[in-house]
Homo-oligomer: A and B are copies of this chain.
Amino acid sequence: MRVLGPNIFGFYYPHNDLCATFCTPYTKRGSVAFTCQSGGVGMAVIGFTRAKGIGVSAIVGLGNKVDIAEHDLLAFFGRDANTRVVAMHMEDLKDGAAFVAAAREVSPRKPVIAFKTGRTPLGSKAAASHTGALAGVDRIYDAAFRKAGVLRVRTLDELLDQACALAVLPPPQGPNVFVHTSAGGLGVALADAMFDEGLEAMEIPADLEEALRKYIPPFGSFRNPVDVTGSSTPDIQAETARLAIEDPRVHSVILGYWHTIITPPMVFAEAIGQVVDQARRKGIVKPIVASLSGDVEVEEAGRYLEERGIPSYPYSPERAVSALAALYRWSRFAGLLPP
């Protein structure tokens, strides 16, 4: 990479123990490269990824882009073996055509996510006084991102969530999502979010339902979302999750955990961790995300699951669903799934 020109943030590349900024030190290695046109966004990346415990492959501040621009970084991170996802914040693009060309080359192999700010009249005025960016006509950016296979997000929350999730999730092998929940009400909220995001709740095949019935009490639900109920022991939670995860007709799993005394948060996390490890040893790898509803101990359980490649969202059903939906959007774009 060329040496960066003047900017107000600098850059991190933890895989080489490189930390060239005036901000806090950061050494946790991960696989998302973040680029940003503002140190304010860069610092949010540091705190957010550190709190989640997942690390980054790089954080680069671009400042006023006197020498290096987004397309240079995109080309670099496209070739960088430590980077699986490129997440970019920008207020403008100096060379739109170069960006589209670079993104088209990279995005079928690695997800490229763009958080383009200054997209509203008020925001674009603010961008002009911040970096002098001519934020431009927003629908042109929209069209360029679509053409280049770039996932566009509207909020910093989405940039952080989606980048961190896509960095660890394997692509799904098909559309069938299985929702495994221990609280029916959480299942309803997950189902609403799935509908909003265009995810497909698979029909539970008769033989799988029969297998689930051996574990789930009659007041549970065998439709999708499958409600194993709050009365489930850790064993029941694990065995029913295993049925979903190891069934080849299931392509993705959403876990909706409900904190109970019977199955406390860390007990649940460890049980799921084991099931996932055992499946992996059989060569079964599929995307799993978790929504964790409970007392503050779910935050620790979430970090445990994150470290095992399961993006986890304390207190939120919707963020878990959005993260999986972003993976589906990218997989369809990249031709890994039919559109």
Contact = CB atoms under 8 A, between A and B. Distances in A.
Interface of A: 8, 22-24, 36-41, 43-44, 46-48, 50-51, 89, 91, 117-123, 125-127, 129-131, 154-157, 160, 181-196, 201, 221, 223, 225, 227, 230, 256, 258-261, 293-299, 314-319
* Minimum-distance CB pairs A-B, first 4: A38-B185, A40-B183, A130-B184, A123-B192
A294 B44 contact: yes
Nearest to A189: B117
**Chain copies in the assembly?**
2
A24 B125 contact: no
A127 B8 CA distance: 51
Nearest to A129: B221
Contact of A40 (B122, B127, B131, B293): B293
A118 B188 contact: yes
25 contacts: A24-B295, A38-B185, A40-B186, A44-B293, A47-B298, A47-B315, A51-B315, A117-B185, A119-B192, A120-B192, A120-B195, A120-B196, A122-B194, A122-B195, A125-B191, A126-B187, A126-B188, A126-B191, A126-B221, A130-B188, A130-B227, A131-B185, A155-B318, A156-B317, A157-B318
Contacts of A201: 122
A38 B259 contact: no
A129 B190 CA distance: 14
A8 to B, nearest CB: 7
Contacts of A184: 38, 40, 126, 129-131
A328 B192 CA distance: 27
**Of residues A121, A123, A127, A317, which shows the largest number of chain B Cβ atoms within 10 Å of its Cβ?**
A123
B293 A223 contact: no
A22 B317 CA distance: 23
B40 A258 contact: yes
Contact of A118 (B126, B192, B294): B192
Contact of A189 (B22, B41, B259, B260): B41
A295 B188 contact: no
Contacts of A191: 120, 122-123, 125-126
Contact of A181 (B40, B43, B223, B298): B40
A160 to B, nearest CB: 7
B40 A121 contact: no
Contact of A316 (B46, B157, B296): B157
Given A40-B182, A155-B193, A156-B315, 7 more contacts: A39-B183, A40-B184, A43-B183, A43-B295, A89-B185, A120-B196, A122-B194
**Of residues A37, A117, A126, A227, which shows the largest number of chain B Cβ atoms within 10 Å of its Cβ?**
A126
Nearest to A183: B40
Nearest to A318: B155
Contacts of A40: 181-187, 189, 230, 256, 258, 293
Given A22-B261, A40-B186, A227-B129, A315 B192 contact: no
